[in-house]
């Protein structure tokens, strides 16, 4: 499967070029062009830190290639869920299974901080993302391709310290993408960016997701970002899934459209209703 | 480093050709004033000989070959002592930074030894080694050990844990994680240790050579004192200053070469 994916690189390149003529693909905007993603099955997932039970039984199925956003108040366990999916924490009880055999390179995480190595040039930072293939002959070529996808190939020989916050995050995205992951988990990747950079990063995320067809799991505190990007929004409250909302708005979505605003409003009301009771 | 950054001149206020010379204005100025003060008799030659006399003494010693021999002996002692003490300090710093077990075993002991001024060991060292080469090497190595040990340890312990987690996520094994993340992250701190150590290296050597030696710059100065050759005494002191400066510059060059990624070292 991995090798099949890698030989399909030129196709995705074509797809990203096609993207510059949006009218040509309106008809199939709904779904990614080709689904390379993995489906996810979570059963009875629990996790506690000491006495604090963060996740109290999560049951969830995510179809391959879906874009899922997870929202909730801070401390609700959304980041913990993401870290469990990415294998960064140990599961206390329950299970997470993927639709296919997975390798380390199939699942990638992007954090709120870019976490670039300050002592490595942009290109070598992207090469880090290749995992075990770092030493292969085409490592540099693939890293360059990933940088091209995020529009930063001209910065390949720069040190990370000279990049802006948005550019650093794009390099981190290229690093996550370079191994052609089948599940990409985002832990508030845009949280530290200014409003304008956020919008262009959201477009970039949506574009690479459509081009590559990975399963995307986005943890965010921004409900408007969640409804703009995702097929489905999960609201987590007290360690459980409180709401599972499908976003049936065709893509490309117009930010601030009435449909999205309605959806955002109802999710926000549900999120805040608990506060009123207190 | 951030301090250097914030006080450095604005970008367009830079005179590249003159930059390297600016730092020498003050030392040369002091020598000029000193010369004038000596010629006018303001400073008697018994207290401090004129720079020209010092230079003359240096020239004579250079011709006799004595100066070069003594500088070479001191330089050799300094560098060998530094290499020995520095490598051991670096090795312990690495081991204790990377392994909890090693830190538990040795750190307390090392911290206790650190609080003994190493120059206080001179009587003991003379009893052990006599006034042999090994006495000087031992003292220099001991003096150099601690700054390098402490700063290596500190550097490794303060590597950003988020970067280490990132490295693990991207499948780096221990060796690669060390090479790509931990060591480069600790390097700025290691360099701080090296520069501290260079200072201590000269200090230790001067003291050791002054007290117990039969060659070297410190010995030359002590011999000169016996014969009231004050110009040679001053000459030795100046050479120490110069050697210290050279060692510091060498570490700066190395620092620039290896830390070019660091914002404080970037020429824009």
The domain spans of chain B are: 53-262
**pLDDT tops 90 at residue B184:** yes
pLDDT at A2 over 60: no
Instruction: State the alpha helices, DSSP H only, in chain A.
Output: 2-7, 9-18, 78-85, 122-128, 139-149, 165-177, 195-212, 223-229, 258-277
| CB distance A180 to A148 below 8 Å | no
Sign of the torsion angle spanned by Cα atoms A24, A27, A28, A29: positive
* pLDDT at A128 exceeding the cut of 80: yes
Q: Which of B119, B113, B100, B109 is nearest to B205 (CA)?
A: B119
What pLDDT digit, counting tens, does each position of B133-179 carry?
888 999 999 999 999 999 999 999 999 999 999 998 888 899 999 99
Q: Determine whether the interchain pair A115/B166 forms a contact, defined as Cβ–Cβ distance below 8 Å.
A: yes
| pLDDT (mean) for A213-224 | 92
pLDDT of A10 > 70? The answer is: no
What is residue B142's predicted lDDT score, i.e. its pLDDT?
Answer: 93
Q: What is the pLDDT of residue B15?
A: 52
Alpha carbon of B253 to those of A159, B70, B238, B256, B265: distances in Å?
19, 26, 23, 5, 11
Which residues in chain A have Cβ-Cβ distances shorter than 8 Å to B261?
118-120, 159-161
Beta carbons of A117 and B184 less than 8 Å apart: yes
Question: What CATH superfamily is the domain B53-262?
Answer: MetI-like (1.10.3720.10)
Segment A114-125 shows an average pLDDT of: 94
pLDDT at A36 > cutoff 90: no
As a whole number of angstroms, the distance between CA A109 and CA A176 comes to: 7
pLDDT band at B59 (very low <50, low <70, confident <90, very high): very high
* Residue A16 clears pLDDT 80, i.e. is over it: no
The pLDDT of residue A182 is above 70 = yes
Q: Contacts of residue A86 in chain B, CB cutoff 8 Å? A: 169
List Cβ neighbours of A258 (8 Å cut-off, separation of 6 or more). none
- Round the CA-based radius of gyration of chain B to a whole number and report it: 23
Nearest CB neighbour to A113, from listed B162, B171, B185 = B162
First-to-final CA distance of chain A = 51
Tell me which residues of chain A have a C-beta less than 8 Å from any C-beta of chain B.
86, 88, 104-105, 108-109, 111, 113, 115, 117-120, 128-129, 131-132, 159-162, 175
Q: Look at residue B167 in the predicted model and tell me its pLDDT.
A: 92
Residue B255 C-alpha, separation from nearest chain A C-alpha, in angstroms: 13
State whether residue B2 sits within 8 Å of chain A by CB.
no
Query: Given this model, what pLDDT does residue A168 score?
Result: 94
Please give, rounded to a whole number of angstroms, the shortest distance from the CA of A12 to a CA of chain B: 23
- Going by pLDDT thresholds of 50, 70 and 90, the confidence category of residue A32 is low
State chain A's mean pLDDT as an integer. Answer: 84
Q: Which fold has domain A32-102+182-273?
A: Rossmann fold (3.40.50)
Q: Alpha-carbon distance A82 to A217, whole Å?
A: 8
Q: What integer pLDDT is reported at residue A33 of this predicted model?
A: 56
pLDDT band for B69, please (50, 70, 90 cuts).
very high
Q: Could A120 and B261 be called an inter-chain contact, meaning their C-beta atoms sit closer than 8 Å?
A: yes
Between chains, do B266 and A159 touch, taking CB under 8 Å as contact? yes
Percent with pLDDT over 90 in chain B: 41
pLDDT for B17: 59
- CB contacts under 8 A, B 172-191 vs A, are 172, 180-181, 184-185, 187
What confidence score (pLDDT) does residue A64 get? 92
**Token pair of B109, please?**
């002991």
Q: Using CB atoms within 10 Å of the CB of residue A235, give its burial: 0 to 12 exposed, 13 to 18 middle, 19+ buried.
A: buried
List C-alpha distances in Å: B31 to A220, B35, B37.
Answer: 66, 6, 10
pLDDT at A183 over 90: yes
pLDDT at A274: 64
Q: Are B144 and B200 in contact (CB under 8 A)?
A: yes
* Terminal-residue alpha carbon distance, chain B: 16
pLDDT for position B248:
87
Q: Averaged over B19-30, what is the pLDDT?
A: 85
Distance between B22 CA and the closest CA of chain A, angstroms? 29
pLDDT mean over A236-265:
87
Task: Give chain A's radius of gyration (CA, Å).
Answer: 18
Q: How far is residue A77's CA from residue A63's CA, in Å, rounded to a whole number? A: 22
Of A88, A105, A117, the CB nearest to B163: A117
Q: Is the pLDDT of residue A233 over 50?
A: yes
8 Å CB contact between A46 and A93? yes
Chain B nearest-CA distance from A33, in A, is 27
What band does A77 get if pLDDT is binned at 50, 70 and 90? confident
Measured in angstroms, the CA of B93 and the nearest CA of chain A are apart by 21
Q: Which tokens go with B162?
A: 């988020």
**pLDDT tens digits, one per residue of B216-259:** 888 898 889 888 889 999 998 889 888 888 888 888 898 888 88
Quick one: pLDDT at residue A276?
Answer: 57
pLDDT of A157 reads 93
- Secondary structure string (H, E, C) spanning chain B: CHHHHHHCCCCCCCCHHHHHHHCCHHHHHHHHHHHHHHHCCCCCCCCCCCHHHHHHHHHHHHHHCHHHHHHHHHHHHHHHHHHHHHHHHHHHHHHHHHCHHHHHHHHHHHHHHHCCCHHHHHHHHHHHHCCCHHHHHHHHHHHHHHHHHHHHHHHHHCCCHHHHHHHHHCCCCHHHHHHHHHHHHHHHHHHHHHHHHHHHHHHHHHHHHHHCCCCCHHHHHHHHHHCCCHHHHHHHHHHHHHHHHHHHHHHHHHHHHHCCCCHHHCCC
Question: Do the beta carbons of residue B230 and residue B177 sit within 8 Å?
Answer: no
Evaluate if residue A14 carries a pLDDT over 60: no
Q: What's the whole-number average pLDDT of chain B?
A: 87
Which of chain A's residues have a Cβ under 8 Å away from the Cβ of B166?
A: 111, 115, 128
pLDDT digits (tens, 9 = 90+) for A196-214: 889 899 999 999 999 899 9
């Amino acid at each position: 499967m991995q090798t099949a994916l890698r030989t399909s690189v030129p196709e995705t390149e074509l797809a990203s070029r096609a993207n510059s003529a949006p009218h040509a693909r309106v008809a199939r905007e709904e779904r990614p062009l080709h689904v390379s993603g993995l489906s996810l099955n979570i059963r009875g997932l629990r996790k506690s830190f000491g006495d604090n039970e963060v996740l109290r039984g999560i049951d969830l199925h995510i179809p391959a290639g879906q874009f899922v956003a997870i929202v909730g108040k801070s401390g609700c366990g959304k980041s913990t869920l993401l870290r469990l999916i990415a294998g960064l924490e140990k599961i206390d009880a329950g299970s997470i299974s993927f639709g296919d055999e997975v390798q380390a390179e199939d699942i990638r995480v992007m954090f709120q901080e870019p976490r670039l190595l300050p002592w490595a040039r942009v290109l070598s930072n992207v090469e880090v993302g290749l995992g075990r293939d770092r030493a292969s002959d085409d490592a540099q070529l693939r890293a360059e391709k990933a940088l091209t996808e995020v529009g930063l190939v001209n910065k390949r020989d720069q040190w990370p310290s000279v990049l802006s916050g948005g550019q650093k995050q794009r390099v981190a995205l290229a690093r996550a993408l370079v191994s052609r992951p089948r599940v990409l988990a985002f832990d508030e990747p845009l949280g530290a960016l200014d409003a304008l950079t956020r919008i262009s990063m959201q477009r970039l995320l949506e574009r690479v997701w459509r081009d590559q067809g990975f399963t995307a799991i986005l943890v965010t505190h921004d409900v408007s970002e969640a409804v703009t990007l995702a097929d489905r929004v999960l609201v987590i409250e007290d360690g459980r899934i409180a709401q599972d909302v499908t976003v049936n708005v065709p893509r490309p979505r117009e930010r601030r459209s009435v449909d999205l605003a309605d959806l955002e409003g109802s999710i926000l009301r549900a999120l805040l209703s608990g506060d009123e009771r207190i | 480093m951030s301090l250097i950054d914030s006080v450095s001149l604005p970008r367009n206020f830079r005179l590249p050709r003159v930059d390297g010379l600016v730092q020498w204005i003050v030392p040369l100025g002091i020598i000029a004033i000193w010369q004038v003060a000596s010629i006018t008799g303001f400073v008697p030659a018994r207290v401090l000989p004129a720079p020209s006399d010092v230079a003359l003494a240096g020239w004579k010693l250079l011709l006799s070959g004595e100066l070069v021999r003594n500088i070479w002996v001191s330089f050799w002692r300094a560098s060998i002592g530094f290499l020995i003490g520095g490598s051991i300090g670096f090795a312990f710093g690495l081991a204790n930074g990377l392994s909890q077990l090693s830190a538990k075993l040795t750190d307390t002991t090392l911290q206790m030894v650190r609080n003994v001024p190493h120059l206080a060991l001179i009587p003991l060292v003379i009893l052990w080694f006599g006034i042999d080469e090994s006495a000087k090497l031992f003292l220099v190595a001991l003096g150099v050990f601690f700054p390098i040990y402490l700063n290596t340890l500190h550097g490794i312990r303060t590597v950003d844990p988020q970067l280490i987690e990132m490295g693990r996520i991207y499948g780096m094994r221990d060796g690669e994680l060390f090479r790509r993340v931990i060591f480069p992250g600790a390097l700025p701190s290691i360099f701080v240790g090296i520069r501290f150590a260079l200072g201590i290296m000269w200090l230790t050597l001067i003291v050791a050579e002054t007290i117990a030696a039969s060659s070297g710059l410190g010995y030359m100065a002590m011999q000169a004192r016996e014969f009231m050759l004050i110009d040679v005494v001053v000459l030795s002191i100046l050479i120490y200053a110069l050697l210290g400066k050279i060692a510091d510059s060498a570490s700066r060059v190395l620092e620039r070469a290896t830390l070019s990624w660091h914002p404080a070292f970037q020429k824009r």
